[in-house]
């Protein structure tokens, strides 16, 4: 009796794993397929019966990329845009989080509401006026234009506020009694104690800005301002039949995000679950 129960439970376990393995395989299969394809010779890619593994492993698809399109430039542009944005987000969120957590002043709740209320309204909604603003500022096709809508993040402020609220007031007051200025308190008390949440939102923001597409699509209109996403899109439009090249370019675009994800997996999941959870 007990034995029979054990076997049904064993079968159930196996079924569960089969279900989880097969579904998670579907999730990653496209990436594996593309990764393998990117190492094939172009003559082996479009065939009657697709081959899973390359007949001859080659790097030609990767090596030719910098020659056909300025991918190095695209890559640097993406690094600049997401890097500068993340720097602003990290500092701005920590400073605002500190104020909203620890200061008491009239209008604070209203300001906090102002920051939080726009959180669920997608950029797509107000992209027309945002473009006009960028245009008036003369920032079309410039780094300023690409970056400036990305330097604020409601959920970052919310996340830091939640974390800073748990820092004991005594620590802050002790620093103040010692005659520290607010900037000093922020730098020597708040920042060191918020490293982990700042890291979480920075990584999430970096991934988000790296992946952004619609804003660069509208603002960057010459090749030297393209980000990786935009360069990739134009590349696949121009070289529609060069599947090997396109797949190699796809892999290069998603590789940095993949690397960051695998290194900071727990932080990212925590950050995304929170910025999602508490918006």
Partner 1 sequence: MGGRLTRSQIGFLWGIVMPVIALFIIIRVIPILIVLLMSFTNFNLNRPLTRFLPYQNFTRLFGDPNFLTAFINSTEFVLIAVPLEIILGLAFAIYLNRKVRFESIYETLYFLPYIVPMVPSAIIWKWIYAPGTYGLANYLLDQMGFARVGWMSTPQISLLAVIGIHIWKQLGFFVIVFLVGLKNIPSDFREAAVVDGATPWEITRKVDIPLLKPVILFGVVMATIWAWSAFTEVYIMSQGTDISTGAEIQVLVTRIYAEGFLYFNMGYASAISFVLFIVSLIFVALQFKLIKVEST
Restricting to residues 95-134, which ones interact with partner 1 according to CB under 8 A?
A: 95-96, 99, 102-105, 111, 114-115, 117-118, 120-122, 124-133
Q: Which two tokens stand for residue 193?
A: 């104690």
Residue 128's alpha-carbon distances to 124, 133, 138, 227, 233, in angstroms, are 8, 9, 15, 20, 22
- Per CB under 8 A, contacts with partner 1 among 70-99 are 92, 95-96, 99
Asked if 226 interacts with partner 1 (CB under 8 A), we say no
Asked if 50 interacts with partner 1 (CB under 8 A), we say yes
Asked if 167 interacts with partner 1 (CB under 8 A), we say no
d(CA 19, CA 125): 39
Asked if 49 interacts with partner 1 (CB under 8 A), we say yes
Helix (H) / strand (E) containing 93? helix 71-102
Each as own residue / partner, the long-range contacts of residues 111-119 (CB below 8 Å, 24 or more positions apart, any chain) are: 112/161, 115/154, 115/157, 115/158, 116/154, 116/157, 116/158, 116/279, 118/154, 119/154, 119/155, 119/158, 119/279
Full DSSP string of 29-80: HHHHHHHHHTTS-HHHHS-SS--SS-SS---HHHHTHHHHS-HHHHHHHHHH
Asked if 188 interacts with partner 1 (CB under 8 A), we say no
Instruction: Determine contact, residues 234/246, Cβ cutoff 8 Å.
Output: no
d(CA 168, CA 170): 5
- Per CB under 8 A, contacts with partner 1 among 140-159 are 148-149, 151-152, 154, 157
Least distance to partner 1, CB of residue 157, Å: 8
Asked if 215 interacts with partner 1 (CB under 8 A), we say no
Smallest CA-to-CA distance from 94 within 159, 182, 150, 160 is with 160
Least distance to partner 1, CB of residue 232, Å: 5
Please identify, using beta-carbon distances, which residue of 179 and 192 lies nearer to partner 1.
179
Asked if 160 interacts with partner 1 (CB under 8 A), we say no
Tell me which stretch binds partner 1 (CB under 8 A): 19-27, 55-63, 68-76, 194-202: 19-27
**By rule CB under 8 A, what count of residues binds partner 1?**
96
Please identify, using beta-carbon distances, which residue of 169 and 192 lies nearer to partner 1.
169
Residue 162's alpha-carbon distances to 67, 154, 156, 166, 202, in angstroms, are 49, 13, 10, 7, 16
Phi/psi of residue 179, each to 5°? Answer: 90, 15
3-state DSSP assignment of residue 241? coil
- Per CB under 8 A, contacts with partner 1 among 235-254 are 236-237, 240, 243, 246-247, 249-251, 253-254
Please identify, using beta-carbon distances, which residue of 201 and 246 lies nearer to partner 1.
246
Please identify, using beta-carbon distances, which residue of 59 and 118 lies nearer to partner 1.
118
Options 17, 56, 109, 188; binder of partner 1; rule CB under 8 A: 17
Asked if 193 interacts with partner 1 (CB under 8 A), we say no
Please identify, using beta-carbon distances, which residue of 6 and 17 lies nearer to partner 1.
17
Options 14, 16, 76, 174; binder of partner 1; rule CB under 8 A: 16
């Amino acid at each position: 009796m007990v034995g029979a129960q054990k076997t049904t439970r064993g079968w159930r376990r196996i079924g569960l794993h089969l279900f989880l393995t097969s579904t998670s395989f579907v999730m990653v299969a496209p990436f594996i397929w593309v990764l393998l394809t990117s190492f094939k010779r172009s003559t082996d890619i479009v065939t009657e019966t697709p081959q899973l593994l390359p007949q001859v492993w080659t790097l030609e698809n990767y090596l030719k990329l910098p020659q056909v399109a300025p991918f190095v430039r695209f890559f640097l542009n993406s690094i600049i845009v997401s890097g500068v944005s993340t720097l602003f987000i990290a500092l701005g969120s920590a400073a605002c989080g500190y104020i909203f957590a620890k200061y008491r002043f009239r209008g604070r709740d209203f300001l906090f509401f102002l920051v939080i209320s726009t959180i669920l309204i997608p950029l797509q909604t107000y992209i027309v006026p945002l473009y006009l603003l960028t245009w008036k500022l003369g920032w079309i096709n410039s780094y300023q234009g690409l970056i400036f809508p990305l330097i604020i993040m409601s959920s970052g402020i919310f996340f830091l506020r939640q974390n800073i609220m748990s820092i004991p007031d005594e620590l802050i007051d002790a620093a103040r009694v010692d005659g520290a200025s607010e900037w000093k308190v922020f730098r020597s008390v708040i920042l060191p104690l918020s490293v982990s949440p700042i890291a979480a939102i920075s990584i999430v923001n970096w991934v988000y800005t790296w992946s952004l597409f619609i804003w660069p699509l509208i603002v960057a209109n010459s090749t030297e301002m393209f980000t990786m996403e935009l360069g990739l899109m134009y590349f696949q439009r121009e070289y529609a039949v060069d599947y090997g090249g396109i797949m190699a370019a796809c892999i290069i675009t998603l590789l940095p995000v993949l690397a960051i994800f695998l290194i900071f997996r727990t932080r990212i999941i925590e950050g995304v679950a929170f910025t999602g959870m508490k918006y």
